[in-house]
């Protein structure tokens, strides 16, 4: 993970993280990344891990699928929004490549203290760590947050005192669908970039214009997270096939358009983030 993020950070593109909501997502993400010769990150939100069978099962399925599909591009399994230090440890023990510890709802002192524990544990196993300051607004997998802009001195404190590999400074992005136009804090982003060298992570990238995305990447966002955009494409396709074919009941026929929709969104995002042929 560290190598692919550092490469993106240096060459000013971003590695997309696509969240998986089932095996169909995982298959689509891996196959499309391979087709596009792009490095890719597969995110599992803490909330969805248990619904999908737990850390161990997910880590094993990930390895098996990579092998069976002969995936040669770097593909990373990442815990998204790890809710506790223990959950991050569990992911590391199960074989995850990367974890995010989300202490953004805690005081900065608590956030630093816990993030440090995760970094110490994860780095020993060669697992990278992402942390968050401020709060990405909106709802994801049942977790709601108000949007709070990241404070510059808190970002510096967290990044410098913990030794994290990437930082998610919440600067106006939102999980789920945006209400109105996204309003990213580019001035704050520029200021933060001047004082910190760590790669940034943009959460809630679905719905952000291409111009804003390119600007965020130019300020060192080397990882960009997509979930909603994939799920809109998938659910629209599913709705259409079921509405147009009222008699249809064969699962594979029903699922096929959704898979194709996922592939199309993933390929488009890989081009948009500049990750195309970067593997």
Closest to Zn ion by CB, 97 vs 102, is 102
Rounded to the nearest whole angstrom, what is the least distance from the CB of residue 242 to Zn ion in the complex?
Answer: 30
Q: Indicate whether 272 belongs to the interface with Zn ion (CB under 5 A).
A: no
Q: Which stretch binds Zn ion (CB under 5 A): 10-18, 82-90, 196-204, 234-242?
A: 196-204
- Judged by CB under 5 A, the number of residues near Zn ion is 1
Closest to Zn ion by CB, 204 vs 257, is 204
Query: Could you report how far apart the first and last alpha carbons of the chain are, in Å?
Result: 12
Rounded to the nearest whole angstrom, what is the least distance from the CB of residue 144 to Zn ion in the complex?
Answer: 12
Closest to Zn ion by CB, 39 vs 204, is 204
Q: Among 46, 50, 68, 80, which one carries the catalytic annotation?
A: 80
Q: How far apart are alpha carbons 26 and 142 in whole angstroms?
A: 21
Q: How far apart are alpha carbons 40 and 129 in whole angstroms?
A: 16
Rounded to the nearest whole angstrom, what is the least distance from the CB of residue 234 to Zn ion in the complex?
Answer: 18
* Contact of 134 with 150, CB cutoff 8 Å: yes
Q: Which stretch binds Zn ion (CB under 5 A): 3-11, 86-94, 201-209, 244-252?
A: 201-209
Closest to Zn ion by CB, 46 vs 188, is 46
Rounded to the nearest whole angstrom, what is the least distance from the CB of residue 240 to Zn ion in the complex?
Answer: 28
φ and ψ of 157, to 5 deg: -60, -50
Q: Which stretch binds Zn ion (CB under 5 A): 35-43, 90-98, 199-207, 240-248?
A: 199-207
Q: Indicate whether 87 belongs to the interface with Zn ion (CB under 5 A).
A: no
| DSSP state letter for 242 | H
151 is catalytic: no
Give buried/exposed letters for 252-264 (b at 16+ CB in 10 A, else e): eeebebbbebbbe
Closest to Zn ion by CB, 203 vs 272, is 203
Rounded to the nearest whole angstrom, what is the least distance from the CB of residue 254 to Zn ion in the complex?
Answer: 29
**Tokens representing residue 279 in the block:** 């593997």
Q: How far apart are alpha carbons 260 and 63 in whole angstroms?
A: 23
Q: Which stretch binds Zn ion (CB under 5 A): 114-122, 150-158, 197-205, 250-258?
A: 197-205
Closest to Zn ion by CB, 203 vs 223, is 203
Rounded to the nearest whole angstrom, what is the least distance from the CB of residue 80 to Zn ion in the complex?
Answer: 6
Q: How far apart are alpha carbons 103 and 86 in whole angstroms?
A: 12
| DSSP state letter for 21 | S
Q: Among all chains, which residue has been given the structure tokens 């997502």?
A: 25
**Tokens representing residue 149 in the block:** 């802009």
Q: How far apart are alpha carbons 27 and 194 in whole angstroms?
A: 39
Q: Indicate whether 66 belongs to the interface with Zn ion (CB under 5 A).
A: no
Q: Indicate whether 203 belongs to the interface with Zn ion (CB under 5 A).
A: yes
Task: Tell me how far apart the 2 most distant CA atoms of the chain are, in Å.
Answer: 60
Q: Among all chains, which residue has been given the structure tokens 């494409």?
A: 233
- List active site positions: 80
- Interface residues toward Zn ion, by CB under 5 A: 203
């Amino acid at each position: 993970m560290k190598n692919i993020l550092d490469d993106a950070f240096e060459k000013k593109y971003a590695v997309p993280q696509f969240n998986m909501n089932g095996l169909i997502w995982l298959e689509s993400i891996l196959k499309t990344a391979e087709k596009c010769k792009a490095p890719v990150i597969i995110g599992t939100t803490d909330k969805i891990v248990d619904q999908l069978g737990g850390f161990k099962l997910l880590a094993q399925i990930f390895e098996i699928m990579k092998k069976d599909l002969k995936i040669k591009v770097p593909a990373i399994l990442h815990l998204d929004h790890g809710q506790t230090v223990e959950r991050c440890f569990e992911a590391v023990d199960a074989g995850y490549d990367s974890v995010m510890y989300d202490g953004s709802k805690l005081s900065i002192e608590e956030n630093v203290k816990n993030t440090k524990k995760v970094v110490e544990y994860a780095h020993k196993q060669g697992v990278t760590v992402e942390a968050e300051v401020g709060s990405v607004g909106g709802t994801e997998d049942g977790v709601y947050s108000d949007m709070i802009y990241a404070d510059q001195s808190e970002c510096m404190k967290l990044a410098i005192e913990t030794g994290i590999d990437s930082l998610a400074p919440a600067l106006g992005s939102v999980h789920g669908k945006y209400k109105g136009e996204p309003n990213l804090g580019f001035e704050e982003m520029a200021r933060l970039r001047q004082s910190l060298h760590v790669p940034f992570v943009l959460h809630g990238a679905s719905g952000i214009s291409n111009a804003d995305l390119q600007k965020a990447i130019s300020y060192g966002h080397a990882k960009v997270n997509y979930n909603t955009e994939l799920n809109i494409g998938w659910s629209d396709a599913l709705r259409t096939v079921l509405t147009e074919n009222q008699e249809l009941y064969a699962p594979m026929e029903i699922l096929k358009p959704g898979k194709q929709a996922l592939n199309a969104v993933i390929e488009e995002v890989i081009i948009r983030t500049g990750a195309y042929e970067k593997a």
